[in-house]
Structure formats: C-alpha cells, structure tokens
C-alpha cells in the first residue's frame, strides 16, 4: 500500500486486556445500535466462528463467515462490501495481520481497502503498533468487549464512553435469571470448587457438583445439563477424556462444555476444542471471564421455553 | 522461573480474590481455612510418594497443592508443587528426592504462617 493516499487509521486502540483489567469489562457498556451492519468473520476455528456469528447476529448485525482467509479476500475482490471485519490472528495459510495487509492492498475504488479490521488474538500476543488495523481484542472474546470494540470502531469515540459503574460491583448478579442454565461443575479440588460455587452463586446459578470425570458422566446419565464447567485435570478420568466419552455417548445432546485449566500453554485451547469442548476459561477463575463464558453458552431446551436467548 | 524470586504469599492475589466476591472478606478467610485444613494432607502424600520413589503417586497431590496454592496466593509453594507435579508426570526421580520433600514441607509451613497472619490482620 506504499504510495496510496488513502491509508486509513482510526484513533481507536483497544489494547489486549491485561489480566488485571479484566474485572473492568462489563456486558454491553455502550448503548449503540449495530443493527444491519455487515460483518466479515474470518477464523479457522469453527467453534469460534459460530460464537462470533451468534454474538454479532444477536446485536442485529449481518455476519458472513469463513474459515479461509483466501475465500474472504475473494469476496472482497468480487466487490462484496462489509462495514467491519473480525480476523483471527493465528490461522494457517494467511494469518490475521497478513490478511489485513492483503485487504489494504486491494484496489481502493470499491472501498474495501479501508475496511475497519479488528484482530482477535490469544493471550500472550502483544499489540503491534504499526499494524494496519483498527483494534485488537484478546481471546477468549467477551461479548461485552466485542460489542464495545465494534461500536467504538464503527461509531467513533463519542458513543464509546462507558457508563460509570461502581468500581467494586460484582459481576452481573441477574445473569442466571436472564440466561438460565442447568450447570454441572466438574472440579475435584475442594478449594477451587468452593470458589467456583461462590462465583456461580453470585451470578444467580445453582450448579450441581461432580468431583471427577466418572462422577461427571454419572451425573449426565442421571439428568440433563446445559453446561458442564470441566476442570481439565481431574483424577480417575480427566476432563479431556470425559469430554470425548460424553460426545461419543450422547452425540445429539447439546451440552456445552467449558474447559477450566491453569495451564496457560498455547496448545491447551486447541486440545480442549479437539476433545469436543466448546469454550475455555483460565484458572484461577475470574468472575467476568466466567460470566462471559456462560453468556456464550446457548440456553438449554428447558431454559429456552421460558426465555428466548441468542 | 526461579522459585526463590516468588513471594511466600502474594497478597495481591488475596485482594483480587476479595474483589471477585464483592469484598466479602469472610469468604476469603473461609477459603483460606479450607486450604489450610486440606493442604497438609497433600504435603504428606507428596512426602510419602517421594519416600516410596513412586512418581505416579506424586502427580495428583502435587497437582492439587499447586492449584489451590495458586488460588490463595501461596505463589512459591505453587511453583514448587508444580515442579514436583511435572517431575512426577515425567518420572524424573532425581527431581523428586527427600530434599525436595523437605523444602516443600518448609514452604508449606511458611505459607501457612503467612496466611494465618493475613487472616488475623484482616480482622476476621
């Protein structure tokens, strides 16, 4: 894009949320209308794509998604127009930044070269100052942060002033009423189990508890759950193996499995998703991260009888 | 990571824990007491596994101790337990010697003392 007169830079930067800033993010702080905006979603991970599609559609946006950066480039080249793009950073073939460079290098006539781009990147990847993008967002992406970032990029800083909130307010205490879920907490460590139960109670959830993988499966034999919060390393049967067995045994059950693990290793998330888990939170559990993960979980049949979500 | 650089008790972890439960210090104190009541067993199981040179038996108690120590801010103990957990997983007997068990025991005592001081200082 050297020599082009139309390099587009928004003065918006959403830095990667450092761990100590996570507590400040709240669901939908910005009251902005995103309805009808077209969003291009490119992520090689099908589960992540599904989550991004569901979230943006919920705000009335019109998502179009692909796992292939080259297909996305093809759409843009063919003249398809979008208001904003969400690119995963780590993808095979073409990563999110390379894809951004390619988009910027498109002929300027149709405007795609100036498409606002948000890069979604995993923990540990630092913001790059010179990247030709509008904003960075840390994964796993919280709905509130995604909403606020899109609103800020599309509508500018003026709408993006967060509503003031009391600093010490705990996470959304009515989430369990607004988004009811039957939760099974699979955690063997008594200290962490106690903490998780407390954090769930604060969100107005009343989970059942299993102390290892075998108990988890026994609990699922007994009754239906919408969400399993699954410690990855449990005795008897670990979370990955328990998940594989659950998926093999009940392929049609829509149980949403969220991994909880202290290992911040890069391959962990992939291992969890490969085993059939839907989402991932890190330990020690933070209330906002937990709330965001539960918000991403689809409400179960029993719950959606009462309320329509997603 | 050098374990020696880590604090016996990282109070910022406890502060954050308190904030995450809406400033309910009683809950934090309860959690610490659950940890103190439970952790000693894991230290004993680690010692027993090391004395028996049974690296398989080392993994579970070291893992549990690592995880709950991290939750209550006993950072150095968490790091030592983590080392032992991985020594156990990888069957590295040289890294799971009686001297390691003794060091873990000493760190457990130090962390317990620091946590008790913290709870009494917090006025609970």
pLDDT in tens, A82-130: 889 999 888 887 888 889 888 888 887 667 788 889 988 864 445 555 6
pLDDT score, position A130: 65
B73 or A162: which leads in pLDDT:
B73
Task: State mean pLDDT over A21-34.
Answer: 51
From A25's Cα to the closest Cα of chain B, the distance in A is 13
Chain A residue with minimum CA distance to B70: A284
A79 or A203: which leads in pLDDT:
A203
CA dihedral B95, B99, B105, B106 (to 10 degrees): -120
- Among A148, A147, A149, A117, smallest CA distance to A133 is for A117
A259 or A139: which leads in pLDDT:
A259
Q: Do A287 and B63 touch (CB under 8 A)?
A: no
- Give the residue from A167, A191, A213, A282 with the most B CB atoms within 10 Å of its CB, the best one to mutate: A191
Residues of A with Cβ-Cβ distance to B16 under 8 angstroms: 20, 23
Cα A198–B6–B50 angle (5° rounding)?
85
Three-state secondary-structure class, residue B53: coil
Asked whether the whole model's pTM tops 0.90, one would answer no
CA dihedral A281, A287, A292, A296 (to 10 degrees): 70
Task: State mean pLDDT over A67-80.
Answer: 88
Q: Do A23 and B68 touch (CB under 8 A)?
A: no
Q: Could you tell me the two tokens for A193?
A: 């189990």
Q: B residues 28-87 near A, CB within 8 Å?
A: 30-31, 34-35, 38, 60, 63-64, 66-68, 70-72
Q: Do A262 and B38 touch (CB under 8 A)?
A: no
Q: What is the crossing angle of helices B55-71 and B25-51, to 10°?
A: 160
Task: State mean pLDDT over A191-195.
Answer: 95
On average, the pLDDT of chain A sits at 78
Chain A residue with minimum CA distance to B39: A191
Nearest to B64 among A189, A195, A287 (CB): A189
Nearest to B22 among A189, A202, A284 (CB): A202
pLDDT > 90 fraction of chain A, expressed in percent and rounded: 29
A162 or A45: which leads in pLDDT:
A45
Beginning with the edge strand found earlier in the chain, give each strand of the sheet holding A62-66 in spatial order: A62-66, A38-42, A84-88, A117-121, A135-138
B65 or A143: which leads in pLDDT:
B65
Residue-wise pLDDT tens digits, A217-269: 999 999 999 999 999 888 778 899 999 999 999 988 889 999 998 765 556 77
Q: Do A189 and B68 touch (CB under 8 A)?
A: yes
Residue-wise pLDDT tens digits, A281-307: 888 888 888 999 999 898 866 544 443
**Whether A290 contacts chain B with CB within 8 A:** no
A55 or A40: which leads in pLDDT:
A40
CB A71 within 8 A of CB A148: no
Three-state secondary-structure class, residue A228: strand
Residues of A with Cβ-Cβ distance to B20 under 8 angstroms: 23, 170, 199, 286-287
pLDDT > 70 fraction of chain A, expressed in percent and rounded: 75
Q: Do A199 and B21 touch (CB under 8 A)?
A: yes
| Residues of chain B falling short of pLDDT 70 | 1-4, 122-124
β-pair partners for A258:
A229, A279
From B59's Cα to the closest Cα of chain A, the distance in A is 10
Residues of B with Cβ-Cβ distance to A199 under 8 angstroms: 20-21
Residue with tokens 């199981």: B45
The answer to whether residue A72 scores a pLDDT higher than 50 is: yes
**How many CB contacts within 8 angstroms connect chain A with chain B?**
55
- Give the residue from A202, A284, A287, A290 with the most B CB atoms within 10 Å of its CB, the best one to mutate: A284
Element (H, E) at A172: none
Judged by average pLDDT, the poorest of A7-11, A193-197, A199-203, B100-104 is A7-11
DSSP B84-98: HHHHHHTT-GGGS-H
Q: Do A194 and B31 touch (CB under 8 A)?
A: yes
- DSSP tally for chain A: helices H, then strands E: 11, 10
Nearest to A192 among B13, B20, B67 (CB): B67
Residues of B with Cβ-Cβ distance to A192 under 8 angstroms: 67-68, 71
pLDDT score, position B48: 97
pLDDT score, position A18: 37
Residues of A with Cβ-Cβ distance to B66 under 8 angstroms: 262
Q: Do A188 and B22 touch (CB under 8 A)?
A: no
| DSSP for residue A279 | E
CB atoms within 10 A of CB A170: 19
The answer to whether residue A182 scores a pLDDT higher than 70 is: yes
Chain B residue with minimum CA distance to A171: B20
């Amino acid at each position: 894009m050297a020599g082009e007169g139309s390099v587009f830079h928004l003065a918006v930067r959403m830095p990667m949320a450092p761990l100590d800033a996570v507590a400040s993010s709240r669901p939908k702080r910005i009251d902005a209308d995103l309805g009808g905006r077209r969003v291009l979603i490119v992520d090689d991970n099908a589960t992540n794509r599904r989550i991004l599609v569901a979230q943006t559609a919920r705000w009335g946006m019109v998502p179009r998604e692909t796992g292939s950066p080259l297909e996305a480039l093809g759409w843009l080249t063919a003249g398809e127009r979008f208001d904003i793009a969400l690119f995963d950073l780590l993808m095979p073939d073409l990563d999110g930044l390379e894809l951004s460079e390619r988009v910027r290098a498109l002929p300027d006539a149709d405007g795609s070269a100036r498409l606002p781009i948000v890069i979604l990147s995993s923990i540990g990847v630092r913001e790059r100052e010179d990247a030709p993008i509008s904003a960075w967002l840390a994964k796993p992406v919280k709905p509130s942060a995604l909403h606020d970032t899109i609103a800020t990029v599309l509508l500018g800083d003026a709408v993006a002033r967060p509503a003031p909130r009391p600093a010490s307010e705990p996470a959304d205490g009515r989430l369990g009423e607004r988004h009811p879920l039957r939760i099974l907490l699979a955690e063997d460590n008594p200290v962490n189990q106690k903490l998780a139960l407390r954090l769930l109670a604060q969100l107005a959830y009343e989970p059942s508890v299993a102390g290892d993988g075998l108990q988890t499966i026994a609990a699922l034999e007994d009754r239906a759950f919408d969400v399993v919060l699954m410690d990855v390393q449990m005795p008897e049967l670990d979370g990955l193996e328990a998940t594989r067995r659950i998926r093999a045994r009940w392929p049609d059950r829509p149980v949403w499995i969220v991994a909880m693990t202290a290992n911040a290793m890069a391959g962990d998330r992939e291992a969890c998703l490969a085993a059939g888990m839907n989402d991932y939170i890190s330990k020690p559990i933070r209330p906002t991260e937990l709330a965001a993960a539960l918000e991403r979980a689809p409400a179960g049949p029993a719950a959606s009888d009462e309320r329509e979500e997603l | 990571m050098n374990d020696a650089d880590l604090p016996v008790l990282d109070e910022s972890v406890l502060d954050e824990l308190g904030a995450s439960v809406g400033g309910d210090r009683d809950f934090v104190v309860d959690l610490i007491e659950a940890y103190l009541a439970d952790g000693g067993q894991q230290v004993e199981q680690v010692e027993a596994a090391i004395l028996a040179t049974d690296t398989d038996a080392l993994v579970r108690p070291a893992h549990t101790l690592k995880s709950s120590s991290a939750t209550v801010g006993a950072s150095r103990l968490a790091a030592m337990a983590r080392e032992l957990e991985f020594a156990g997983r990888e069957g590295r007997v040289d890294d799971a010697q009686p001297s390691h068990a003794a060091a873990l025991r000493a760190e457990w005592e130090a962390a317990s003392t620091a946590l008790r001081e913290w709870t009494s200082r917090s006025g609970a």
